[in-house]
């Protein structure tokens, strides 16, 4: 087996970052092949993803590299290489990871070839990495969100080393294009259009763990989507923490609406989704683009967070209750059938009953198609964590329950709106409960089940929506 110094010989290492990583993929391939020969079997991996769509997309990049190296997908945590791609947006996400690590330790005692890797947002927090070094020293590889493109290189180090490899960067301005990716679905894909966040909402850890906002070059985005379409993709989800501020920091600035117009032109692409939109940057230009587009889906995710202008200010969201309501009116006046969904936090420090009722009022007025409701979670290092007047758990629980009941009542009421109509459904999978049915999504993201077989997966089919059962439709092909 080659030694670490031989592989990391400066004379051999390519200067170009993508080429450098392909060099390490080749080096890792050799190491893995030797291990396979020794064991008489393939090495397996399992990538466990927590958190948002950004992390899901990052995991696809990890899987792409692992498969190029020669690993094959294994059975859950019995695999030879288990990776947790972590989220730290709320406390319970962190606790889940610590809980799983104890379990993994037992597995590792039984399989001496097993490697454990941790990456993602949680690893960008110093106290987490300290805890892992101290309490979980059996972990093999720890890296962060900024250097994920160096995965092959770090993996080579971990494969050839007996001690924990830790590599965390505080920030980066680099975007490395053209590394391998393995998609979870053949027909749809996430596409990063930007990384990081500059908004510093006072409760949120994301800007600290994902770094400053960086937009990808529109040419790289369009080229990636063209390749995806050639490879069978019909739906893309454009990803960014605040897609409405896309392009502002490029050398040749362009707006998100202009990017959407370029993507709309890509032949063979059928559906465009995006997330997440910040209300403060939602332009009239974007609403016009939505109204004109034939491909942008009829689903807008517009996080509200709170309906109280006073709390919104403390959250540093930079819009008022009235601004938000006006935006919703504008969207609906131009695109009446647009489904609107949201995120709401309950129990932000200093939230009074009156503030909470303002949130309930917005929920009532907007009639969201669905809403993700969260209990405020204190994130160390954010401004809100040191605010006085943290709300007692009993009060928060009571408000949360009332909000959830209201949100559910409204989404139930709204969910059957298309009953009787014929609509386009992108078929995603065979139904988990009944194999004679397939499951797909409408443009507005509603779920539809109808009789069909695996041959329909990835196709857009016209379906009559016969009946609405709570949160999904039952239909038939027309
Ligand atoms: N960039 C997106 C949100 C990413 S985080 C946006 O601005 O909309 C996803 C959601 O998690 C947020 O919308 C918020 O509702 C929730 N969230 C973030 N930090 C939180 C915290 N400290 N406690 C509870 N929920 C939080
Ligand atoms: Fe967090 Fe606000 Fe950035 Fe969204 S916009 S990721 S909530 S700081
Ligand atoms: Fe979580 Fe990181 Fe996404 S903290 S929500 S995985 S950006």
Q: Report the separation in Å between the CA atom of 47 and the middle of ligand 1, taken as the mean of its atom positions.
A: 24
User: Which ligand has the nearest atom to the CA of 342?
Assistant: 1
* CA dihedral of 26, 30, 33, 39, whole degrees rounded to 10: -140
- Nearest-angstrom CA–CA distance, 296 and 30: 45
pLDDT at residue 400, rounded to an integer: 98
Residues 247-263: what's their mean pLDDT? 96
Output the average pLDDT for the chain: 96
Banded pLDDT at 86 (limits 50, 70, 90): very high
Ligand 1 atom with minimal separation from the 241 CA: 1
Residues 245-253: what's their mean pLDDT? 95
Residue 14 has pLDDT above 90, yes or no: yes
Asked if 297 and 445 count as a contact pair (C-beta separation under 8 A), the reply is: yes
pLDDT digits 0-9 by tens, 268-314: 999 999 999 999 999 999 999 999 999 999 999 999 999 999 999 99
pLDDT digits 0-9 by tens, 157-207: 999 999 999 999 998 888 898 888 999 999 999 999 999 999 999 999 999
Ligand 3 pocket by Cβ (under 6 Å): 51-52, 54-55, 87-89, 121, 206, 209-210
Banded pLDDT at 434 (limits 50, 70, 90): very high
pLDDT digits 0-9 by tens, 319-369: 999 999 999 999 999 999 999 999 999 999 999 999 999 999 999 999 999
- Ligand 2 pocket test target in 195, 207, 280 with most atoms within 8 Å of CB: 207
pLDDT at residue 343, rounded to an integer: 98
Banded pLDDT at 470 (limits 50, 70, 90): confident
Beta strands, E only, 87-207: 115-120, 141-143, 165-167, 188-192, 194-195
- Nearest-angstrom CA–CA distance, 375 and 22: 43
Residue 396 has pLDDT above 80, yes or no: yes
Percentage of residues of the chain with pLDDT beyond 90: 92
- Ligand 1 pocket test target in 276, 317, 374 with most atoms within 8 Å of CB: 374
| Angle of the 17-39 helix axis to the 151-159 helix axis, nearest 10 | 40
Residue 1 has pLDDT above 80, yes or no: no
pLDDT at residue 77, rounded to an integer: 86
Which DSSP letter does residue 141 get? E
pLDDT at residue 141, rounded to an integer: 98
Report pTM.
Answer: 0.95
- Nearest-angstrom CA–CA distance, 474 and 454: 17
Helix (H, G, I), strand (E, B) or coil at 140: coil
pLDDT at residue 128, rounded to an integer: 96
Banded pLDDT at 256 (limits 50, 70, 90): very high
Q: Is the CB of 206 under 6 A from ligand 2?
A: yes
Percentage of residues of the chain with pLDDT beyond 70: 100
């Amino acid at each position: 087996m080659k030694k670490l110094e031989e592989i990391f010989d400066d004379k051999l290492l390519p200067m170009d970052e993508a080429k450098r990583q392909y060099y390490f993929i080749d080096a890792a391939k050799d190491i893995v092949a030797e291990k396979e020969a020794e064991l008489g079997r393939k090495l397996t991996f399992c990538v466990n993803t927590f958190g948002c769509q950004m992390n899901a997309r990052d995991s696809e990049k990890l899987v792409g590299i692992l498969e190029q190296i020669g690993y094959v997908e294994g059975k859950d945590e019995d695999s030879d290489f288990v990776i947790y791609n972590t989220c730290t947006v709320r406390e319970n996400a962190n606790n889940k990871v610590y809980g799983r690590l104890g379990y993994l330790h037992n597995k590792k005692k039984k399989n001496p070839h097993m490697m454990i890797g941790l990456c993602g947002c949680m690893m960008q927090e110093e106290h987490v990495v300290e805890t892992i070094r101290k309490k979980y020293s059996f972990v093999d590889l720890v890296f962060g969100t900024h250097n994920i493109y160096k995965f092959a290189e770090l993996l080579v180090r971990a494969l050839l080393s007996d001690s924990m490899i830790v590599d965390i960067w505080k920030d980066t301005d680099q975007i490395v294009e053209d590394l391998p990716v393995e998609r979870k679905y053949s027909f749809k894909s996430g596409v990063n259009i930007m990384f990081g966040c500059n908004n510093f909402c006072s409760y949120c850890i994301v800007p600290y763990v994902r770094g400053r906002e960086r937009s990808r070059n529109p040419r790289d985005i369009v080229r990636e989507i063209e390749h995806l379409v050639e490879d069978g993709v019909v739906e893309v989800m454009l990803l960014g923490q605040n897609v409405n501020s896309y392009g502002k920091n490029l050398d040749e600035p362009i707006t998100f609406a202009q990017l959407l117009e370029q993507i709309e032109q890509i032949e063979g692409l059928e559906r465009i989704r995006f997330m997440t939109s910040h209300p403060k940057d939602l332009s009239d230009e974007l609403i016009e683009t939505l109204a004109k587009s034939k491909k942008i889906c009829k689903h807008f995710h517009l996080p509200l967070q709170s309906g109280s202008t006073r709390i919104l200010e403390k959250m540093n969201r930079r819009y008022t209750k009235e601004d938000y309501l006006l935006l919703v009116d504008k969207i609906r006046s131009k695109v009446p059938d647009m489904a609107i969904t949201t995120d709401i936090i309950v129990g932000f420090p200093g939230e009074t009953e009156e503030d909470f009722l303002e949130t309930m009022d917005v929920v009532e007025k907007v009639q969201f198609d669905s809403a993700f409701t969260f209990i405020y979670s204190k994130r160390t290092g954010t401004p809100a964590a040191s605010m006085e007047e943290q709300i007692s758990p009993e009060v928060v629980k009571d408000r949360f329950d009332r909000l959830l009941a209201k949100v559910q009542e409204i989404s139930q009421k709204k969910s059957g709106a298309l009953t009787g109509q014929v609509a386009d459904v992108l078929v995603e999978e065979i139904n988990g409960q009944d194999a004679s049915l397939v499951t797909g999504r409408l443009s507005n993201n509603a779920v539809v089940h109808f009789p069909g077989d695996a041959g329909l997966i990835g196709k857009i089919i016209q379906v009559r929506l016969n009946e609405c059962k709570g949160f999904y439709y039952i239909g038939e092909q027309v």
